[in-house]
Homo-oligomer: A and B are copies of this chain.
Amino acid sequence: MSKLNIGIIGAGRIGKVHTETAAFRLPEVSVACITDVDRDAATRLANRCGISKVVDSSEDVLADPSVEAVLICSPTDTHADLIVKAARAGKQIFCEKPIALDLARIDAALEAVAKAGVQLQIGFNRRFDANFARVRQAVAAGEIGTPRLLHIVSRDPAPPPIAYVKVSGGIFLDMTIHDFDMARFLIGDEVEEVFVAGGVMVDPRIGAAGDIDTAITMLRFRNGVIGMIDNCRQAAYGYDQRAEVHGSLGKIATENCYPNQATISTAASVGRDLPLNFFMDRYLESFAAELRSFTEAVMEGAQTAVTGEDGRIAVVMGLAARKSYDEHRPVRLEEVAGKAAAG
């Protein structure tokens, strides 16, 4: 069997997920080397996963001629530059979302990718989740007819630390960005306009940091579909990730995933354990499917499932959502896109 040699940049939380997937679950992948600014973290991960080579820097990864593809799992502010460098080095690229928080840097990165003729996949792993994939399948196959209405509910178990909130780019670019991508993925069409109603309901410190923690974002798609995304930084019962599409022939709706299928009935209530609470548990399989998809695309020279343009549009939507919230009016994506919204 031919194998894809990859290099990994970043051994933090998400880097760990991808490295373990590559090492233990994808026989067609071989990890050539790994790096992290915290070298000990990289070494620990390498030992655990049987990776023989820990290198000093991303430059070393990119300079390794055996590396065919790189996984960019470093902090957000390094993504765009690393994409440019990796593209210039002729590497196939998998990069975590978001590409960057401003469009100029994104466009520079995408240009470098286009120029180099390499593949780029952005880490919108939820597309590979069995639930959301099933919704997309139903819409694409016409099981529910022509789509009319879309609901996405995406609530976190608890808000991130305030320090993180301050550098996160705000709820729309940090959290809703996944839902923006999901909306486009599920409907298979582009959003033209957003309108946001939101507020600070979870923690006033989030408001003091200039962000909000709760929002409903209304979406109007080019094809007429109307959608809404419900976000909240805190849900007492855990991680709440659902979608529903209503179409001319019916609807499809997903429920959350649970650690078990047991129901306990007592004199107090009929209940079950809380849903999977941590994104790593909830989306574990999707991370594996995502990397498998990237690997296959690269090995077959096929288009990746989530392109750089997909990564750009999600950021455009985040910027438009923030503008809508600030100016309290519907905002068309073309107001912020810097070029015609792609599709």
Taking beta carbons and an 8 Å cutoff, which residues of A are in contact with B?
24-25, 27, 48, 130-131, 133-135, 138, 143-146, 148-149, 151, 155, 195, 197-199, 201-202, 214-216, 218, 220, 224, 226-228, 230, 232, 234-237, 240, 246, 248-267, 269-275, 328-330
CA distance A261 to B270 in the complex (A): 12
What B residues does A329 contact at CB under 8 A? 329-330
On whether the beta carbons of A195 and B214 are closer than 8 Å, the reply is no
Q: Can you name 16 A-B residue pairings with CB atoms under 8 Å?
A: A24-B25, A135-B262, A148-B201, A151-B151, A197-B218, A197-B220, A198-B226, A215-B226, A218-B218, A235-B265, A255-B263, A256-B261, A257-B261, A269-B274, A270-B274, A271-B271
Chain B residue nearest in CB terms to A215 = B226
CA distance A226 to B328 in the complex (A): 14
What B residues does A262 contact at CB under 8 A? 131, 134-135, 138, 252-255
Given contacts A25-B24, A250-B266, A264-B251, contact A148 B237 (CB under 8 A): no
* Partner pick for A214 among B138, B198, B226, CB 8 A cutoff: B226
What B residues does A261 contact at CB under 8 A? 131, 254-257
CA distance A256 to B265 in the complex (A): 12
CA distance A24 to B232 in the complex (A): 37
On whether the beta carbons of A199 and B214 are closer than 8 Å, the reply is no
> What's the minimum C-beta distance from A117 to chain B, rounded to whole angstroms?
33
> What's the minimum C-beta distance from A280 to chain B, rounded to whole angstroms?
15
* Partner pick for A237 among B197, B230, B267, CB 8 A cutoff: B267
* Partner pick for A201 among B218, B224, B227, B267, CB 8 A cutoff: B224
On whether the beta carbons of B215 and A232 are closer than 8 Å, the reply is no
Chain B residue nearest in CB terms to A200 = B224
CA distance A30 to B185 in the complex (A): 42
* Partner pick for A272 among B148, B202, B216, B271, CB 8 A cutoff: B271
CA distance A209 to B151 in the complex (A): 28
CA distance A265 to B270 in the complex (A): 12
On whether the beta carbons of B253 and A263 are closer than 8 Å, the reply is yes
> What's the minimum C-beta distance from A107 to chain B, rounded to whole angstroms?
30
CA distance A266 to B198 in the complex (A): 23
> What's the minimum C-beta distance from A235 to chain B, rounded to whole angstroms?
7
Chain B residue nearest in CB terms to A242 = B261
Chain B residue nearest in CB terms to A230 = B149
18 A-B pairs besides A134-B262, A144-B264, A271-B272 with CB distance below 8 A are A130-B259, A131-B260, A133-B260, A138-B262, A143-B264, A148-B201, A148-B202, A151-B151, A197-B220, A215-B226, A228-B228, A234-B248, A236-B250, A249-B267, A253-B262, A256-B261, A257-B261, A267-B274
